[in-house]
């Protein structure tokens, strides 16, 4: 079995990885979490406390 490829989250400023089969997508872009996929409520870049997995 092939391991899913880990890709960088497409959200600006996010350092998380997104899986190739991620459920969080926006068109062709892959994201690590729903909050990144939706572009953040106020359009701010990703940062600690934004709610994505990589910033706990």
Judge contact between 36 and 24, C-beta under 8 A.
Answer: yes
Ranges of residues in the chain with a pLDDT under 70 are 1-4, 53-56
pLDDT at residue 52, as a whole number:
81
Determine the Cα angle at 40 with ends 38 and 43, to 5°. 115
pLDDT at residue 43, as a whole number:
74
Boundaries of every domain in the chain: 1-39
Judge contact between 9 and 18, C-beta under 8 A.
Answer: yes
pLDDT at residue 45, as a whole number:
80
pLDDT at residue 56, as a whole number:
39
Tokens of 56: 């706990």
What phi and psi values does residue 25 have, to the nearest 5 degrees? Answer: -135, 160
């Amino acid at each position: 079995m092939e391991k899913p490829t880990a890709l960088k989250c497409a959200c600006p400023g996010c350092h998380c990885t997104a899986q190739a089969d991620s459920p969080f997508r926006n068109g062709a872009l892959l994201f690590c979490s729903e909050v990144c996929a939706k572009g953040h409520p106020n359009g701010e870049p990703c940062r600690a406390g934004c709610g994505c997995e990589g910033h706990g």
